[in-house]
């Protein structure tokens, strides 16, 4: 297992020979994949691929090759809340500690076969994801490709940390902005400092009754953020779990709804009409319930889990585009496959989960021309696992080979 990775020389190719190849859309038997440099040169029937010049053959008998997996909702600068509560991470862990942890998280993520992450907010760590991304790209540390949201945007007073003593000047978990001018400035500031996308909190737990989520931004405020981001070619994603928060986000032109706990017929129909994708983060909901004492498989499901399951199954039934993303960081990095298993448990077919974690995520996030498929000309981000995850999704955990950008890391 390499730290920096092993790259072939410029004039040498890799000929990868697995048992089967999932190309991001379909499963194929008797396929091989040819890689040179950081690109896929060709992929197809073994008899049709004729490598020229020097090449190294890697036999992967009994294994399935897939495009490098794409984690759709990650927080590399967080670690599980049962280790340290979110408030304490934001307020009491130094930025140096949080970055040091993130370096470890990035390596674990990559070695688990997730060669790209959409990281949706530093949660009080400023623009540290920009430096983390740069360090990976420069080869200083091993890690996945990063699509980053930097600080994220919240309405003033809605997000944490929150203390009873209001005289304390707290580190905030996201950037506070209100009204058109402030939102325009904050959106442009985050883009200028390195954000690949903008994340907004369309609702949060700031209702009249403690713990109840209510919408934060108005529809016009959300439309303003989307318009500013779109002018730079960037997408906006929204944390939204209430019906009204989701509705406003969808009508504003948000790309993906994160969480979506209370989706219903009307909301999912609206998502289909507006081509809004759904990232359900099933595992984060289960993890937080377990931290609160729920024993999965032993105790009845808490109401939030019942609601989440119902919402996810309704979205499946209606044909909403479903992204793969678990809100990893709430639970351990490197255990990203937990969300894939949950998606199957909640009713999604394993082959569709594999699509969600590869080609669907790539297309929805706007990177379908570079990653997410095993296809000529795309980056050589590849993973091979023992077994066949299209039949048993847990086989996705059995990583035998991880390649990113043509470099072998495992």
Helix (H, G, I), strand (E, B) or coil at 199: strand
Q: Render pLDDT for 387-397 as a digit per residue (tens, 0 to 9).
A: 999 999 999 99
Helix (H, G, I), strand (E, B) or coil at 145: strand
pLDDT of residue 2: 40
Integer angstrom CA distances of residue 347 from 118, 237, 317: 24, 25, 10
Centre a 10 Å sphere on the Cβ of residue 135 and count the other Cβ atoms it contains.
18
For residues 22 and 6, the answer to whether their CB atoms sit within 8 Å is: no
Cα(150)–Cα(131) distance, integer angstroms: 10
**Which architecture characterizes domain 6-67+372-408 according to CATH?**
Roll (2.30)
Centre a 10 Å sphere on the Cβ of residue 50 and count the other Cβ atoms it contains.
8
The model's confidence at residue 1, banded by pLDDT at 50, 70 and 90, is very low
User: Which pTM was predicted?
Assistant: 0.96
Cα(218)–Cα(156) distance, integer angstroms: 13
Q: Mean of the pLDDT values across residues 24-28?
A: 98
For residues 222 and 254, the answer to whether their CB atoms sit within 8 Å is: yes
SS (H, E, C) 292-353: CCCCCCCCCCCHHHHHHHHHHHHHHHHCCCEECCCCECCCCCCCCHHHHHHHHHCCCCHHHH
Q: Which residue's entry shows tokens 């594999």?
A: 354
Ranges of each domain in the chain: 6-67+372-408, 70-365
Phi first, then psi: give them for residue 169, nearest 5 degrees: -90, 105
Helix (H, G, I), strand (E, B) or coil at 108: helix
Helix (H, G, I), strand (E, B) or coil at 106: helix
For residues 159 and 173, the answer to whether their CB atoms sit within 8 Å is: yes
The model's confidence at residue 210, banded by pLDDT at 50, 70 and 90, is confident
Mean of pLDDT over the chain = 95
Q: Render pLDDT for 125-153 as a digit per residue (tens, 0 to 9).
A: 999 999 999 999 999 999 999 999 999 99
| Structure tokens given for 326 | 């678990």
H/E element holding 270?
A: helix 265-274
Q: Any alpha helices (H) in 74-114, and if so which ranges? A: 86-92, 95-111
The model's confidence at residue 164, banded by pLDDT at 50, 70 and 90, is confident
- pLDDT exceeds cutoff 90 at 260: yes
Q: Render pLDDT for 75-103 as a digit per residue (tens, 0 to 9).
A: 999 999 999 999 999 999 999 999 999 99
Centre a 10 Å sphere on the Cβ of residue 338 and count the other Cβ atoms it contains.
20
Pairing status of strand 175-176 against strand 198-201: unpaired
Distance of CA 202 to the CA centre of its chain: 19
Centre a 10 Å sphere on the Cβ of residue 302 and count the other Cβ atoms it contains.
17
**Which architecture characterizes domain 70-365 according to CATH?**
Alpha-Beta Barrel (3.20)
């Amino acid at each position: 297992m390499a730290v920096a990775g092993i790259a072939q020389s410029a004039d040498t190719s890799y000929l990868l020979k697995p048992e089967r190849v999932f190309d991001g859309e379909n499963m194929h038997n008797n396929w091989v994949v040819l890689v040179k440099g950081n690109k896929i040169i060709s992929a197809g029937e073994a008899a049709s691929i004729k490598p020229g010049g020097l090449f190294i053959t890697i036999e992967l008998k009994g294994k399935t090759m897939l495009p490098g997996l794409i984690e759709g909702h990650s927080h590399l600068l967080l670690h599980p809340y049962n280790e340290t509560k979110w408030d304490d991470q934001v307020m009491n862990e130094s930025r140096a500690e949080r970055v040091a942890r993130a370096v470890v998280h990035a390596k674990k993520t990559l070695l688990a076969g997730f060669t790209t992450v959409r990281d949706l907010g530093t949660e009080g760590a400023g623009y540290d994801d920009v430096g983390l991304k740069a360090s990976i790209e420069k080869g200083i540390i091993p890690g996945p490709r990063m699509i980053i949201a930097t600080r994220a945007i919240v309405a003033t007073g809605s997000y944490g940390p929150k203390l009873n003593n209001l005289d304390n000047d707290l580190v905030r978990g996201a950037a506070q902005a209100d009204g058109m001018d402030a939102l325009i400035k904050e959106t442009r500031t985050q883009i200028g400092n390195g954000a690949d996308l903008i994340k907004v909190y369309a609702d949060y737990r700031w209702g009249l009754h403690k713990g109840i989520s209510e919408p934060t931004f108005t529809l016009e405020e959300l439309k303003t953020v989307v318009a500013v981001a779109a002018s730079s070619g960037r997408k906006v994603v929204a944390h939204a779990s209430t019906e009204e928060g989701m509705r406003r986000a969808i009508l504003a032109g948000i790309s993906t709804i994160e969480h979506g706990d209370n989706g219903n017929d009307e909301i999912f129909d609206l998502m289909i009409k507006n081509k809004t994708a759904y990232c359900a983060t099933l595992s984060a909901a289960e993890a937080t319930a377990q931290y609160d004492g729920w024993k999965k498989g032993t105790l009845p499901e808490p109401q939030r889990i019942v609601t989440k399951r119902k919402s996810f199954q309704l979205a499946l039934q209606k044909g909403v585009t479903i992204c793969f993303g678990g809100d990893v960081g709430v639970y351990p990095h490197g255990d990203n496959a937990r969300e894939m298993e949950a998606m199957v448990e909640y009713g999604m077919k394993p082959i569709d989960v594999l699509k969600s974690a590869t080609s669907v995520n790539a297309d929805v996030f706007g990177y379908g021309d570079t990653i997410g498929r095993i296809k000529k000309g795309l980056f050589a981000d590849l993973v091979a696992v023992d077994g066949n995850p299209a039949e048993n999704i847990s086989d996705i955990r059995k990583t035998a080979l991880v390649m990113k950008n043509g470099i072998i890391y495992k």
